[in-house]
Protein backbone atom coordinates (compact mmCIF):
# COMPACT_ATOMS: atom_id res chain seq x y z
CA UNK A 1 0.00 0.00 0.00
CA UNK A 2 1.13 3.52 -0.70
CA UNK A 3 0.15 6.77 0.97
CA UNK A 4 -1.90 9.10 -1.22
CA UNK A 5 -0.76 12.74 -1.20
CA UNK A 6 -2.64 14.81 1.39
CA UNK A 7 -3.81 17.34 -1.19
CA UNK A 8 -5.64 14.72 -3.26
CA UNK A 9 -7.13 13.10 -0.21
CA UNK A 10 -8.27 16.45 1.10
CA UNK A 11 -9.99 17.43 -2.10
CA UNK A 12 -11.68 14.08 -2.43
CA UNK A 13 -12.88 14.15 1.14
CA UNK A 14 -13.97 17.77 0.83
CA UNK A 15 -16.13 16.80 -2.12
CA UNK A 16 -17.61 13.87 -0.27
CA UNK A 17 -18.24 15.97 2.81
CA UNK A 18 -19.74 18.79 0.84
CA UNK A 19 -22.19 16.51 -0.85
CA UNK A 20 -23.26 14.90 2.38
CA UNK A 21 -23.74 18.17 4.20
CA UNK A 22 -25.93 19.60 1.45
CA UNK A 23 -28.24 16.63 1.44
CA UNK A 24 -28.73 16.34 5.14
CA UNK A 25 -28.95 19.60 7.00
CA UNK A 26 -31.76 20.84 9.19
CA UNK A 27 -34.86 19.83 11.11
CA UNK A 28 -37.97 18.72 9.30
CA UNK A 29 -40.03 21.81 8.66
CA UNK A 30 -43.78 21.65 8.28
CA UNK A 31 -43.70 24.69 6.02
CA UNK A 32 -41.97 22.85 3.16
CA UNK A 33 -38.69 22.93 1.30
CA UNK A 34 -36.11 25.69 1.50
CA UNK A 35 -32.84 26.38 -0.30
CA UNK A 36 -29.40 26.31 1.31
CA UNK A 37 -26.01 27.34 -0.05
CA UNK A 38 -22.54 28.30 1.06
CA UNK A 39 -18.90 27.29 0.98
CA UNK A 40 -16.72 24.67 2.62
CA UNK A 41 -12.98 24.29 3.19
CA UNK A 42 -11.02 21.14 4.00
CA UNK A 43 -9.15 21.66 7.28
CA UNK A 44 -7.78 18.14 7.87
CA UNK A 45 -7.21 15.67 5.02
CA UNK A 46 -7.35 12.70 7.36
CA UNK A 47 -5.49 9.49 6.61
CA UNK A 48 -5.45 7.96 3.12
CA UNK A 49 -4.09 4.65 1.90
CA UNK A 50 -4.14 3.38 -1.68
CA UNK A 51 -3.47 0.04 -3.32
CA UNK A 52 -3.28 -1.11 -6.93
CA UNK A 53 -6.31 -2.83 -8.40
CA UNK A 54 -5.21 -5.92 -10.29
CA UNK A 55 -2.14 -5.75 -12.51
CA UNK A 56 -3.23 -2.80 -14.65
CA UNK A 57 -0.80 -0.30 -13.13
CA UNK A 58 -3.31 2.52 -13.64
CA UNK A 59 -6.22 1.59 -11.32
CA UNK A 60 -6.09 2.37 -7.59
CA UNK A 61 -8.52 1.93 -4.69
CA UNK A 62 -8.03 4.51 -1.96
CA UNK A 63 -9.62 4.73 1.49
CA UNK A 64 -9.68 7.96 3.48
CA UNK A 65 -10.75 8.34 7.11
CA UNK A 66 -11.15 11.48 9.18
CA UNK A 67 -11.42 13.99 6.33
CA UNK A 68 -12.64 17.21 8.01
CA UNK A 69 -14.23 20.32 6.49
CA UNK A 70 -15.53 23.63 7.86
CA UNK A 71 -18.83 24.94 6.45
CA UNK A 72 -20.09 28.51 6.21
CA UNK A 73 -23.23 30.05 4.76
CA UNK A 74 -26.59 28.46 5.54
CA UNK A 75 -24.74 25.52 7.14
CA UNK A 76 -22.27 26.46 9.86
CA UNK A 77 -20.15 23.78 11.46
CA UNK A 78 -17.77 20.90 10.91
CA UNK A 79 -18.16 17.70 8.89
CA UNK A 80 -16.03 14.56 9.16
CA UNK A 81 -16.08 12.01 6.32
CA UNK A 82 -14.77 8.52 5.61
CA UNK A 83 -14.82 7.40 1.97
CA UNK A 84 -13.51 4.96 -0.60
CA UNK A 85 -12.69 5.90 -4.17
CA UNK A 86 -11.59 4.16 -7.34
CA UNK A 87 -9.02 6.09 -9.37
CA UNK A 88 -8.45 5.33 -13.07
CA UNK A 89 -5.24 7.03 -14.20
CA UNK A 90 -5.86 5.98 -17.80
CA UNK A 91 -9.02 8.13 -17.97
CA UNK A 92 -7.99 10.63 -15.25
CA UNK A 93 -11.28 10.01 -13.39
CA UNK A 94 -12.12 9.14 -9.79
CA UNK A 95 -15.43 7.92 -8.38
CA UNK A 96 -16.35 7.10 -4.82
CA UNK A 97 -18.80 6.82 -1.98
CA UNK A 98 -18.59 7.85 1.65
CA UNK A 99 -20.33 8.55 4.91
CA UNK A 100 -20.19 12.02 6.42
CA UNK A 101 -21.36 13.48 9.71
CA UNK A 102 -22.04 17.20 9.98
CA UNK A 103 -22.15 18.82 13.43
CA UNK A 104 -23.43 22.38 13.49
CA UNK A 105 -26.42 24.52 12.63
CA UNK A 106 -28.70 25.18 9.70
CA UNK A 107 -29.88 28.79 9.32
CA UNK A 108 -33.43 29.18 10.62
CA UNK A 109 -33.72 25.51 11.63
CA UNK A 110 -31.51 24.59 14.59
CA UNK A 111 -28.39 22.76 15.69
CA UNK A 112 -27.42 19.11 15.90
CA UNK A 113 -25.82 16.42 13.77
CA UNK A 114 -26.62 15.05 10.32
CA UNK A 115 -25.25 11.88 8.79
CA UNK A 116 -25.42 11.35 5.07
CA UNK A 117 -24.14 9.27 2.21
CA UNK A 118 -22.01 11.00 -0.44
CA UNK A 119 -21.54 9.79 -3.97
CA UNK A 120 -18.93 11.63 -6.01
CA UNK A 121 -16.88 11.80 -9.19
CA UNK A 122 -14.02 14.05 -10.22
CA UNK A 123 -11.24 14.52 -12.70
CA UNK A 124 -7.87 13.68 -11.18
CA UNK A 125 -4.26 14.53 -11.92
CA UNK A 126 -2.54 11.18 -11.36
CA UNK A 127 0.92 12.77 -11.10
CA UNK A 128 -0.21 14.57 -7.92
CA UNK A 129 -3.44 12.67 -7.07
CA UNK A 130 -5.24 16.00 -6.79
CA UNK A 131 -8.94 15.85 -7.75
CA UNK A 132 -10.75 18.77 -9.43
CA UNK A 133 -14.10 19.49 -11.06
CA UNK A 134 -15.83 17.66 -8.24
CA UNK A 135 -19.42 16.52 -8.59
CA UNK A 136 -20.85 15.37 -5.25
CA UNK A 137 -24.43 14.33 -4.53
CA UNK A 138 -25.55 13.62 -0.97
CA UNK A 139 -28.58 12.13 0.77
CA UNK A 140 -29.33 12.49 4.50
CA UNK A 141 -29.80 9.22 6.41
CA UNK A 142 -29.93 10.27 10.09
CA UNK A 143 -30.09 13.41 12.20
CA UNK A 144 -30.18 14.37 15.86
CA UNK A 145 -31.02 17.36 18.00
CA UNK A 146 -32.56 20.27 16.12
CA UNK A 147 -31.67 18.61 12.78
CA UNK A 148 -33.58 15.38 13.45
CA UNK A 149 -36.02 14.56 10.65
CA UNK A 150 -34.49 16.97 8.13
CA UNK A 151 -34.20 15.54 4.61
CA UNK A 152 -33.08 16.83 1.26
CA UNK A 153 -30.52 16.75 -1.45
CA UNK A 154 -27.26 18.68 -1.72
CA UNK A 155 -24.73 19.04 -4.49
CA UNK A 156 -21.11 20.15 -4.17
CA UNK A 157 -18.42 21.65 -6.36
CA UNK A 158 -14.76 22.05 -5.43
CA UNK A 159 -15.58 24.76 -2.82
CA UNK A 160 -19.36 25.37 -2.74
CA UNK A 161 -22.59 23.58 -1.83
CA UNK A 162 -26.24 24.16 -2.63
CA UNK A 163 -29.47 22.26 -2.34
CA UNK A 164 -33.00 21.99 -1.00
CA UNK A 165 -33.97 20.69 2.41
CA UNK A 166 -37.33 19.96 3.95
The predicted-structure confidence for 122-162, as pLDDT tens digits, reads as follows 999 998 888 899 999 999 788 899 999 888 889 999 999 99
Domain 2-165 in CATH 3.30.70.1350? The answer is no
Distance of CA 13 to the CA centre of its chain: 6
118 phi and psi angles, rounded to 5 deg: -105, 140
Cβ-based neighbours of 63, under 8 Å, separated by 6 or more: 48, 49, 50, 82, 83, 84
Domain residues of the chain, as ranges? 2-165
Environment class of 55 (CB within 10 Å of its CB; exposed 0-12, middle 13-18, buried 19+) = exposed
Closest CA to 112 of 142, 83, 137: 142
pTM: 0.78
Q: What pLDDT sits at residue 30?
A: 44
Amino acid sequence: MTTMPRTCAALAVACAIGALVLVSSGTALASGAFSVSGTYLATDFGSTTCSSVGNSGFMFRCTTTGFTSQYSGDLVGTAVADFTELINCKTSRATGIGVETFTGSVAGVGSGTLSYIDQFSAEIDCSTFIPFNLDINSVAVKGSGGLAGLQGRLTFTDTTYSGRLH
